């Protein structure tokens, strides 16, 4: 095999351009207006005016604190829940069962999960209805602040419910490597409790693989828009939804301030990442001191139970939320305190399928293409880099994750300008390209580890009998990786379906997906329709995950070894 020549290979160049080009150009389109340069509105000079206006905005610090606090706390809480649960239960039947529940939950788009959760826990929501009036005496919903609380507690809960499945699957993927069982055995034979074994022996091995997803979660949670709009506080709102509101203010000069705000958002997310990295250091230093302490902690029954509880709660909350969405789709009238609708109607549902069929098709087309291209590009990149023996961890990794580590709104507006200049705005191709920017990093995240774990001896053996590089890829590497490739495809498709702002801004309203439809309908008050579209959003990713699970077992139905490899 050839040695690295130092000259970058085609896929690396292609992907670096695909990702950094739009992000940097978009960022420029944000930075210039932030410093007062937006020629179309007659602002030609560089001035600190927008920054000054931003800093004078009432409640700005409260918004910043909310974004920072809810985002960071939700992320750390999610990670803690995942790790403690995994530590206590990995390898048990309970673990297997919950895994089966959690994977499809990943396909629930953020907005749909938030809408369902709001139905569930509001004072006039399902939980209160279940116990009213017979137990609570409530003939009317109590006037209690649950949704949109000023501290953002509900919003944090909503984020946790959504990020836990993601981090869990990432942890699961990281655990799916050889010799993990041996560590458990070694730990057990030395008399360590299950949880101690995990934290002292297993976690140090797998944490590096969870780290990037965790950073992406922090960047996302500190700049989230849709969940914040549904569950978050409004007096004031966190920074990101306020930015979107300023961007869209009919007073067009607010644009400049919004751009300055986008830079502030970048700063807030960066600060959250920094704080996390410092915390990470502190925790690992503290851990390192305890590695050699010799404490076995064999009695960890209570801790294990504490780890199971939040996980079960999240699965229950999410499942109930989605079930409720299902009921609302056929509920015509559902007055408080009835636990079930008084009048049912399937009309809306049929209507929506008629009207929404078009949107569903567009969503499907974009998702399949974006996921297909992203998966193919990832494979190409990985194959080329391992063929040239380029290191797996390098600058390429950082660049690939750039779109995930930067808040979307900090560069989307500039990106929109770019597409307009190129005359591409509102075209299918443009939306596809915009989706690719966000989909590719997830595809890479999902596939790079399985690729690197692939035993290189297969390829070597094939090469030694004269198989070409092409043949090795198509006949050895790809079939061996069929399962992770399909999962990657499903994850990528789910990410594509969830894209709201990029579809709206780049698609110029001409490209209608179930996600843009569902946000538009959620702005009205019709819960039946809102629920229906939230569920439509869920259909495509769910189908993807089911296919990813079914196809390999069909393809490998007569290959025992391939089936067992899980």
Residue 7 near other proteins by CB under 8 A: no
CB 196 within 8 A of CB 254: no
Shortest Cβ 337–other proteins spacing (Å)? 8
Q: Which of 95, 183, 207, 336 binds other proteins (CB under 8 A)?
A: 336
Which residues have CB under 8 Å from 442's CB, separation 6+? Answer: 374, 404, 491, 492, 495
Q: Kindly tell me which of 2 and 525 has the beta carbon lying closer to other proteins.
A: 525
Q: Which of 109, 213, 236, 502 binds other proteins (CB under 8 A)?
A: 236
DSSP 77-116: HHHHHHHHHHHHHTTSHHHHHHHHHHHHHTTS-HHHHHHH
Q: Kindly tell me which of 197 and 518 has the beta carbon lying closer to other proteins.
A: 518
Residue 350 near other proteins by CB under 8 A: no
Q: What is d(CA 549, CA 532) in angstroms, rounded to the nearest whole number? A: 26
Shortest Cβ 54–other proteins spacing (Å)? 14
Residue 136 near other proteins by CB under 8 A: no
Q: Which of 61, 130, 288, 339 binds other proteins (CB under 8 A)?
A: 61
Shortest Cβ 38–other proteins spacing (Å)? 7
Which residues have CB under 8 Å from 175's CB, separation 6+? Answer: 86, 90, 202, 206
User: Which stretch in 33-41, 68-76, 439-447, 453-461 sits in contact with other proteins by CB under 8 A?
Assistant: 33-41
Shortest Cβ 364–other proteins spacing (Å)? 19
Q: Using CB atoms within 10 A of its CB, is residue 272 exposed (0-12), middle (13-18) or buried (19+)?
A: buried
Q: Tell me the number of residues near other proteins by CB under 8 A.
A: 64
Q: Which of 88, 104, 109, 123 binds other proteins (CB under 8 A)?
A: 123
Residue 137 near other proteins by CB under 8 A: no
Give the residue ranges of DSSP H helices in 176-250.
180-189, 194-197, 203-221, 226-231, 239-247
Residue 521 near other proteins by CB under 8 A: yes
CB 126 within 8 A of CB 323: no
Which residues have CB under 8 Å from 561's CB, separation 6+? Answer: none
Q: Kindly tell me which of 311 and 519 has the beta carbon lying closer to other proteins.
A: 519
Q: Which of residues 164-223 bind other proteins (CB under 8 A)?
A: none
Shortest Cβ 254–other proteins spacing (Å)? 9
Residue 517 near other proteins by CB under 8 A: yes
Q: How many other C-beta atoms lie within 10 A of the C-beta of residue 93?
A: 8
Shortest Cβ 526–other proteins spacing (Å)? 6
Shortest Cβ 145–other proteins spacing (Å)? 5
Q: What is d(CA 425, CA 418) in angstroms, rounded to the nearest whole number? A: 9
Q: What is d(CA 254, CA 552) in angstroms, rounded to the nearest whole number? A: 52
DSSP 322-374: HHHHHHHHTEEE--TT-SS-SEE-SHHHHHHHHHHHHHHHHHHHHHHHHHHHH
Shortest Cβ 400–other proteins spacing (Å)? 29
CA angle 243, 246, 250 (to 5 degrees): 160
Summarize as ranges the residues that interact with other proteins (CB under 8 A).
38-41, 58-59, 61-62, 123-124, 140-141, 143, 145, 147-150, 229, 233-236, 245, 247-252, 255, 332-333, 335-336, 343, 345, 348, 351, 355, 416-417, 420-421, 423, 425-426, 504, 508-510, 512, 516-517, 519-527, 529
């Amino acid at each position: 095999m050839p040695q690295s020549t130092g000259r970058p290979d085609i896929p690396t160049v292609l992907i670096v351009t695909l990702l950094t080009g739009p992000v940097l150009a978009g960022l420029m389109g944000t930075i210039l207006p932030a410093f007062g340069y937006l020629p179309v509105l007659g602002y030609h000079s560089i001035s600190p005016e927008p920054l000054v206006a931003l800093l004078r905005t009432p409640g700005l610090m409260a918004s910043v604190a909310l974004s920072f606090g809810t985002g960071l706390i939700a992320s750390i809480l999610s990670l803690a829940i995942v790790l403690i649960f995994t530590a206590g239960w990995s390898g048990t039947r309970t673990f297997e069962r919950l895994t089966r529940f959690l994977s499809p939950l990943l396909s629930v788009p953020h907005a749909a999960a938030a809408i369902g959760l709001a139905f569930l826990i509001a004072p006039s929501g399902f939980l209160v209805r279940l116990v009213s009036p017979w137990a609570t005496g409530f003939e009317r919903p109590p006037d209690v602040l649950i949704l949109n609380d000023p501290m953002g507690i509900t919003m944090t809960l909503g984020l946790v419910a959504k990020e836990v499945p993601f981090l869990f699957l990432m942890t699961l993927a990281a655990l799916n490597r050889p010799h993990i069982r041996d560590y458990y055995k070694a730990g057990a034979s030395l008399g360590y409790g299950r949880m101690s074994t995990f934290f002292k022996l297993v976690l140090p091995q797998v944490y590096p693989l969870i780290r990037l997803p965790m950073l992406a979660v922090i960047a996302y949670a500190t700049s989230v828009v849709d969940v914040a709009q549904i569950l978050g506080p409004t007096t004031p709102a966190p920074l990101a939804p306020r930015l979107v509101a300023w961007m869209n203010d009919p007073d067009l000069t607010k644009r400049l301030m919004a751009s300055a705000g986008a830079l502030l958002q970048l700063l807030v997310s960066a600060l959250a990442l920094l704080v996390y990295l410092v915390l990470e250091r502190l925790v690992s230093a503290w851990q390192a001191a305890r590695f050699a302490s010799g404490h076995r902690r064999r009695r960890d029954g209570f801790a294990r139970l504490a780890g199971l509880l939040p996980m079960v709660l999240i699965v229950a909350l999410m499942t109930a939320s989605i079930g409720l969405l299902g009921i609302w789709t056929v509920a015509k009238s559902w007055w408080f305190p009835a636990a079930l609708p008084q009048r049912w109607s399937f009309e809306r549902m049929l209507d929506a399928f008629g009207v929404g069929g078009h949107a569903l098709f567009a969503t499907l087309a974009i998702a399949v293409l974006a996921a297909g291209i992203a998966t193919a590009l990832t494979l190409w990149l990985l194959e080329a880099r391992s063929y040239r023996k380029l290191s797996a961890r390098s600058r390429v990794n950082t660049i690939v994750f750039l779109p995930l580590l930067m808040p979307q709104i900090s560069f989307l507006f500039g990106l929109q300008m770019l597409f307009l200049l190129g005359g591409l705005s509102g075209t299918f191709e443009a939306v596809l390209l915009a989706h690719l920017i966000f989909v590719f990093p997830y595809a890479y995240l999902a596939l790079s580890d399985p690729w690197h774990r692939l035993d290189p001896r297969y390829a070597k053996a094939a090469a030694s009998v004269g198989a070409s590089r092409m043949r090795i890829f198509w006949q050895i590497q790809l079939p061996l990786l069929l399962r992770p490739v399909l999962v990657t495809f499903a994850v990528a498709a789910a990410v594509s379906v969830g894209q709201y702002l990029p579809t709206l801004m780049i698609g110029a309203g001409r490209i209608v997906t179930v996600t843009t439809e569902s946000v538009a309908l959620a702005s009205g008050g019709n819960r039946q329709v809102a629920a229906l579209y939230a569920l439509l959003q869920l259909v495509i990713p769910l189908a993807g995950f089911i296919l990813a699970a079914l196809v390999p077992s069909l393809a490998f139905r007569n290959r025992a070894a391939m089936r067992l490899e899980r």
